[in-house]
Amino acid sequence: MTGAGGSVGREALMLLLHEADSYNVRIFDLDTPANRRFFADFGDAVEVFYGDITRKDDLRDPIIGTDVVIHLASVIPPLANEKTHLVDRVNVGGTKNLVEIMEQYAPKAFLLFASSVAVYGDRLQNPYIRVEDPLLPSGNC
């Protein structure tokens, strides 16, 4: 799982750990003091890899031998609205790196990619999303 230290990643990790007998859980995220503290609580229940998704080589070891990758690493609003260059590096470039490493080291692995409703802009007036709705990133509302 990429982005395991983020708010969605933390919740997904807790759900996976409820099924720990069924999975060998590997997590990948930035090496920050907050992530180190959070991940330390899990001991041997998870295999932790620290790195940066924008550096393709950082992804090789966590991907080798995986069957499923849950991709949650991203920059989201409000930071995404302020630092659009970071969104391109992480959300676009990082995802591209992940796919390329998966193709090379785990070509049969299933990729579960999560996104945010923010790609459709403000959904307060009409919260229902349809396939034909235009993409309107939240910073463009």
* Mean pLDDT across 17-34: 90
Higher pLDDT, 66 or 140: 66
Q: What are the pLDDT digits (tens) for 43-81? A: 889 999 999 999 999 999 999 999 999 999 998 878 888
Give the per-residue pLDDT at 48: 96
Beta bridge partners of 85: none
Q: What is the CATH number of domain 7-140?
A: 3.40.50.720
Q: What are the pLDDT digits (tens) for 100-110? A: 999 999 999 99
pLDDT greater than 80 at residue 119: no
- Rounded to the nearest angstrom, the gap between the alpha carbon of residue 23 and the centroid of all alpha carbons in its chain is 18
**CB burial class (10 A; 0-12, 13-18, 19+) of residue 132?**
exposed
What are the phi and psi torsion angles at 121 (to 5°)? Answer: 80, -160
- Domain coordinates of the chain in residue numbers? 7-140
Q: Please, what's the b/e burial string for 92-106 (b: 16 or more CB within 10 A of its CB; e: otherwise)?
A: eebbebbeebbeebb
Secondary element (H or E) of residue 62: helix 56-63
Averaged pLDDT score across all residues of the chain: 88
Instruction: Determine the Cα–Cα distance for residues 138 and 120; give it in Å rounded to an integer.
Output: 7
pLDDT greater than 60 at residue 140: no
Instruction: Determine the Cα–Cα distance for residues 112 and 8; give it in Å rounded to an integer.
Output: 13
* Mean pLDDT across 23-40: 95
